[in-house]
Structure 1
Amino acid sequence: MRLVKRHQYILDKLKNENYVLVAGIAKELNVSEVTIRKDFNLLEKKGLLFRNHGGATLVNPYVVDKPLSHKQHLNKSEKHLISMKATNFIEDNDVIILGSGTTVLNMVEHFPKDKNITVITSSLLIASTLCQYEKVNVIQIGGDVRKSSQSTVGPVAQELMQEISANKLFLGIDGLDLDFGISTSNNAEAYLNKLMIKNVSKTYILADHSKFGKKGLSHICPLKDIDFIITNKNLNEETKTTMEKYGIQVILA
């Protein structure tokens, strides 16, 4: 296939899937991965895509901190499906940590009311809502309140997280990049998330397909530290296969 046709194929694929991998495109076009990397370089120089480790995207991979009120309106239907799927993994007598992301917040709508569960959370909204559930024991993480996320961070929050453990963590993120790993756009939030991951048996990342190929300001952990990713069915097959190579179980909602 000639260069112009390859470039058009790549751009058309990106419009449909948001994110493509070098290996996947090379296989589909029956050319070498070196050729596709050169194509990506040329297209990036023209401002037609953004390269990242092993792939490319049409959108700027760097994300900035946005208030909760804004995030709640992004990809609402996808978040709804992901949060519903996530609650299927909550079992009787679980001790779980819930992060402060909007997708995790949506889990509360589908929370099991018939199970005895202990929930540890930095989210003020999650804690106040779960207080309505008779069988749910709520532990609110104290600390400095981030008004944009209505959650707690800082030394007090970090001290508590270092002293407790749980069997499951459900965490929302701002970015998932093959090279940079899992990230968020706030330093204090990222450090608290690191401690959460360190002190749980299983980590569930809740992320719609728009988070893949993105980078937040602050690194949380490498992909190898994640056990499960719950995402929507828009995730392309190449990305799913790559996640599974890292030992992650990908669950589609």
Structure 2
Amino acid sequence: MSSFKTRERQQRILNLVHKGVADVEELSRQLDVSLSTIRRDLNRLATEGRLVRTYGGAAFVSHDRREQTVNERMLMQRQQKEAIAALAAQQIQEGDTLILDAGTTTAALARLLCGRGDLHVITNNIEALTILASDPDIRITLLGGDVRKLSMGSVGPLTELALARLSADKVFLGADGIVASRGLCEASSDQAYLKDKMMEQADAVFVLADSSKLGFAGQQAWTPMNRPWTLITDGDASADKLGPFQQLGNLTVLVA
């Protein structure tokens, strides 16, 4: 086969992966080529840095790795985030102790906690802090540390030290991206490691991720998801995007 046809097929693979088609067998079916051909193409594209190889398939890599500010992210997927937050709020009972991660979707959840009665919220999310401070019934524990101005969340050794002295019923995490076979991706190793520590301190783990983040591997730091957890996403998530997650044995998927 000519190199032109090979590159044309590889571009079609990139287009499909970008749309959420990440499975080798599905790519083979849609392009009508052998599994071995697809695997060779995926390996080539991964070597070129155009996608990330995952178990049984691939994930999209963004070439714009500039981390967006909180203000920018607040305007993105806003309705979806509010729907996800509403479904997440249904998982919370009065008297719960919660860990809220930094992020705009967890901040949307914080808004829904006001007026919910007796809760204890442990958070590194400065936006969530300002929202929850108005409710006299919610006890707040702020995790100190170094403030990342892009995410308006605290990170670093001091944050981890405070967290290690606490425990919670549930943790609600955000993420820049999420890949079924790799976990959550973040812009920094400090953020990725803190998510790992948050999970260790909670009985139940929830990840709040809108559909645009499913299969997205645009950042370089990762948090593996090895324990049972629940993904809460929105109704725009296609079957192709959800498929790899629904095959995980330790995951429950809730769609808002």
TM range (shorter): 0.7 to 0.9
Query: Are 2:252 and 1:249 aligned?
Result: yes
Counterpart CA distance in 2 for 1:130 and 1:123 is 11
Q: Name the structure 2 match of 1:50.
A: 51
Quote how far apart the aligned CAs of 1:20 are: 3.1
Query: Are 2:35 and 1:33 aligned?
Result: yes
Aligned residues: 247
Counterpart CA distance in 2 for 1:62 and 1:201 is 36
**Are the aligned partners of 2:114 and 2:132 in contact in 1 as well (CA < 8 Å)?**
no
TM-score, with length taken from structure 2: 0.82
Unpaired runs of at least 5, structure 1: none
Counterpart CA distance in 2 for 1:21 and 1:61 is 21
Q: Name the structure 1 match of 2:104.
A: 102
Query: Secondary structure of the equivalent of 2:204?
Result: strand
Quote how far apart the aligned CAs of 1:93 are: 0.8
**C-alpha deviations, 1:47-101, integer Å up to 9, x for none?**
9x63531334565278443321222222222212211211111111110000001
Structure 1 residues 235 and 113, CA gap change in structure 2 (3 angstroms):
same
Q: Name the structure 2 match of 1:219.
A: 222
Counterpart CA distance in 2 for 1:226 and 1:139 is 25
Equivalent position to 1:23, from 11, 22, 25: 25
**C-alpha deviations, 1:94-136, integer Å up to 9, x for none?**
1000000111111123225133111000012211210112321
The 5-angstrom pairing of residues 6-155 of structure 1 reads 13=16, 17-27=19-29, 32-38=34-40, 40=42, 44=45, 50-53=51-54, 54-56=56-58, 60=62, 63-111=65-113, 113-155=115-157
**Are the aligned partners of 1:100 and 1:123 in contact in 2 as well (CA < 8 Å)?**
yes
Q: Could you say what the CA RMSD is over the residues aligned between the two structures, in angstroms?
A: 3.0
Q: Give the letter aligned to residue 187 of structure 1.
A: S
Unpaired runs of at least 5, structure 2: none
Runs of 4+ deviating beyond 6 Å = 3-9
Counterpart CA distance in 2 for 1:91 and 1:152 is 26
Query: Secondary structure of the equivalent of 1:230?
Result: strand
Counterpart CA distance in 2 for 1:58 and 1:137 is 40
Quote how far apart the aligned CAs of 1:239 are: 3.9
Query: Are 2:175 and 1:169 aligned?
Result: no
Q: Give the letter aligned to residue 66 of structure 1.
A: Q
**Are the aligned partners of 2:123 and 2:143 in contact in 1 as well (CA < 8 Å)?**
yes
TM-score, with length taken from structure 1: 0.83
